[in-house]
Structure 1
Amino acid sequence: MSALKPGDKFPDGVVFSYIPYVEEQADIKSCGIPINYNASKEWADKKVVVFALPGAFTPVCSAAHVPGYIENLPKLKEKGVDVVAVLAYNDAYVMSAWGKANGVKGDDILFLSDPEAKFSKSIGWADEEGRTYRYAIVIDHGKVIYAQKERAKNVLEVSKAEAVLEAI
């Protein structure tokens, strides 16, 4: 499959790994049980912003990318966004801990694992080592309305929350 572009249908069969947030396991040292998150099904009738990045707890990702979405979450919701999700190749345990480290509770932002960068590879947006490129995709009821990949690894321009807000 080639890179997604506006007008494309979001692919069928896209499944990520995910640990749902529960208050009883809010401590960063608590582990939940990973479950499959069928994005194709869950997002079919919703407006979704999914942003991907090279890895949890990495400099640009932790200092700017995720905080930008946390800060702009109310504005995204005002624009009709139902789901905001961050995606990386890290396993579901790491993604869950990263969400907790960022103070994200409930399903405000889903911290999804793309094991082995399977989805990112399927759209050509992963590097040779299997790490996810930095990108953002907006899906509106199953149709891609925005899809942009950053021009370089540590650049944060087209996938940051502000750029997505301007585009939708």
Structure 2
Amino acid sequence: MTIAVGQKLPDATFKMLAADGAKNVTTGEFFAGKKVVLFGVPGAFTPTCSNNHLPGYLENHDAILARGVDKIAVVAVNDHHVMTAWARFTGGEGKIDFLADGNGDFVKALGLDIDLSVGGLGLRSKRFSMIVEDGKVTALNIEDAPGQAVESGAAKLLEQL
């Protein structure tokens, strides 16, 4: 079952690269007491994710934060090394938190996983965006097709803030 507006995020653990190395961070730690814009992508370095989805959030970073958001984060079913490299490559380091959901546990718990094995990608995240306030989903946008970033894009999300 897919998570819905009004529901609390499931317990899960991400890996993030911090100044002192890789660290685990739970959903409770990351989202507690904060207003967070979270978007999910099928994979770091993939064309739509790198060329369309992530750039919108980088371009609208200041406008999103100006609307009372504490932080912006992206999650993908990739390891933290890949997510760190993607952050550096895209210029997102220090602006967006890159959350590695290496085994897809978080997106599975959200009901937002997708099997892209036919394309050789295995289990991945559906493309989505959400507003999370103190761990509770207050807005949710899910793309119908993984190759698009319209419903889950930054422009749509800005309208919801």
For normalisation by structure 1, the TM-score amounts to: 0.87
1:27 — aligned with what?
none
Cα distance in 1 between the residues matched to 2:77 and 2:132: 20
**1: CA distance, partners of 2:55 / 2:24:** 25
Query: Are 2:124 and 1:131 equivalent residues in the alignment?
Result: yes
Equivalent residue, structure 2, for 1:115: 102
What is the aligned counterpart of 1:77 among 36, 47, 65? 65
2:134 equivalent to 1:141 = yes
Q: CA deviation at 1:115?
A: 1.2
Where does residue 59 of structure 1 map in the other structure?
47
Q: Measure how far apart 1:167 and its partner are.
A: 1.1
Is the contact between residue 51 and residue 87 of structure 1 (CA under 8 Å) also seen in structure 2? yes
Match runs of 1:1-168 below 5 Å: 2-11=1-10, 13-20=11-18, 22=19, 33-106=21-94, 108-128=95-115, 129-168=122-161
Q: The residue matched to 2:60 in structure 1 has which SS?
A: helix
1:107-146 residue CA offsets vs partner (Å, 9 max, x unmatched):
x200110112111111221112311110112111222101
SS at match of 1:120: helix
Letter of the 1:48 counterpart: V
The structure where strand makes up a greater share of residues is 2
Matched AA of 1:69: Y
> Mean Cα displacement is larger for which, 38-47 or 74-83?
38-47
Gaps of 5+ in 1: 23-31
RMSD, aligned CA? 1.3
Q: Which runs of 5+ in 2 are unaligned?
A: 116-121
Confirm or deny: 8 A CA contact 1:121 1:130 kept in the other structure. Answer: no
Aligned residues: 155
Take 2:107 and 2:55, find their aligned partners in 1: how far apart are those partners?
22
Amino acid at match of 2:147: N
Q: CA deviation at 1:105?
A: 3.2
Q: State the Cα deviation string for residues 138-167 of structure 1 (Å, max 9, x = none).
A: 111222101121001101111101111111
